[in-house]
Amino acid sequence: MAKLKIGKKKIDLWTVLSTLFTLLIVVPSLSIFANLFGKGNQNWNHIVDNMLASYVANSLWLALWTGLFSLLVGVSLAWLVTMYEFPFRKFLKWGLVLPLTIPPNIGAYTYYGMLGYTGIIQTTLRNQFGISVEPGAMNIASLGGAVFIFAIFLFPYIYMITKSFFEKNVYSLIENSRVLGRGSIYTFFKVAVPISRGAIVSGVTLVVLELLNDYGVVQYFGIPAFSTAIFTTWFSMGDLNTAVRLASILMSIALSLVLLEKLLRGRRRYSETNSRGRRAKRKKLGSKAGILASAYGLLVFALGFGIPVMQMVYWAAKSYSNVLNAEFMGYTLSTVAMALSGAAIIAVIALVIGNYNRMANSSISKIYSKVTILGYSIPGAVIAVGVIVSFIALDGLLYPAYKWFDPDSKKLVLSSSVVMLGFAYVVRFLGVGFGPIESGYDRMGNRYLEASRTLGMNTVETFFKVDVPILKGSIMTAISLVFLEIIKELPLTLILRPFNFHTLATRSYQYANDEMLPESAVPSLMIVAIGLLSVYIIQNAGRRKR
């Protein structure tokens, strides 16, 4: 291994870098806990007495029903697409992933505008059919409406994970069930669902974590939740202490959910011994069943992607002349620059930690690998609070240096720069980028490392000349995934962005909150277009790896 010489001691370079990166990742979480100890102020006491119960109840209610509906839609569609042949199956196989390219908050703006009094649905009913709808009858700004929005735009997490599991792991069990004369319904509920429980739980966990991270939907629909409370206490009241306390509760809920997921997945393990590389033969559905399956899949696709995109295109056609200007180009370039730089930094860190874990294969290296997912399991608003606290403390330590360079320097330099936002992106999305790269290292194993050693290459040379070229597909997947996540990110950016700094997500949010829904469609469509490009790159990278 490459060594750093300090005095008479030699320290492994990969250990030093991995330890440094891991410590930086956990700093925001530690800063939240460090600021918890102390007496609560009047704002905190008021929240505890009057509002905390509603925050908890609303969050749990949304998590329960969103998780349930996402599960029903995602698992059923994964089963249909994997096990049956019917019209439009090939289209739906990839089309059902596309709702992930639309952030839930953008979906909320779109459906709210469509269903409102001046929206296309009520206007058509009045003008074409003479039907007047009761005020509030189509108001989607409610807990039930939020469940619909989250479920229809987040179910692809469950769909993708479960479909992948069905394709790779259930062949022999499905065939055995068919040989024994069991029907499709029995096979699904008694064989497929139990065997895929781990995959289903992972998908539901991702959905609920995304829900807890949301700010745009609950804020736009006026639903009291932890993320809106954190924003209110920090921006409206200037009360960082109370924001930290709220963030700690939300972080505890999120980490408890992750722990529960590990327990549910770890209780039983299933394995396939004779189905590697084999896939179940799809059963062709009859005409009526095939039509129903196609209609179901196409309806979900339309609700999750087709209808919202058509509405946004209609709005954009009306408003683009008001939006497409130098300012639009400026925040589009800012968005792409932040996303690309963040994705590149995350890929480098993931490569370093993944390489260390492969070479060391120790309990410490495994802990480092687990820490990488910490940020993605914690809502963005929580990370934002932790990053603010950390950077304010860092600015305090560096203030003498600022004064030495510039006697007129302000105290908060890093805290008011784009550096803080970039650091938060790395903390939040490192787990997203680490997954594909870790999988790439697992497939590669140690054989190339050992071969390079016999040729006299050190670990740094092996990393650049052997590992990186072989992992090119995994690196591209990681960068594309992180790029898409940063493009869509709203809570972190709203809290941590420097003054007058905009991204596509924040501009869309601002237009929507200013009741300028047609204008919000232009940056929203740009986000969707970038998302489609990212999905295309990810799928191509996946084909190359196979």
Residue 99 pLDDT exceeds 90: yes
Mean pLDDT taken over the chain: 84
Is the pLDDT higher at 467 or at 108? 108
The strand pairing partners of 6, in sequence order, are 9
Residue 213 lies in a domain: yes
> How many domains are there within the chain?
1
C-alpha closest to that of 83 among 240, 154, 188: 188
Mean pLDDT check: name the lowest of 2-11, 87-96, 193-202.
2-11
Q: What CATH code is carried by the domain that includes residue 118? A: 1.10.3720.10
Residue 322 pLDDT exceeds 60: yes
Sign of CA dihedral 283, 288, 290, 293: negative
Three-state DSSP at 10 gives strand
Residue 148 lies in a domain: yes
Residue 254 lies in a domain: yes
Range(s) of the domain holding residue 105: 51-266
Read off the tokens for 411: 């105290």
Q: Show the CA angle centred on residue 489, arms to residues 17 and 475, nearest 5°.
A: 45
Residue 126 lies in a domain: yes
Residue 8 lies in a domain: no
List pLDDT tens digits, range 159-202.
988 888 887 766 666 666 666 666 667 777 777 777 778 788 88
Residue 43 lies in a domain: no
- What is the rounded distance in angstroms from the CA atom of residue 108 to the CA atom of residue 15? 45
Residue 468 lies in a domain: no
Residue 96 lies in a domain: yes
List pLDDT tens digits, range 429-471.
998 888 888 888 887 777 777 777 777 777 778 888 888 888 8
Residues 297 and 81: beta-carbon distance below 8 Å: yes
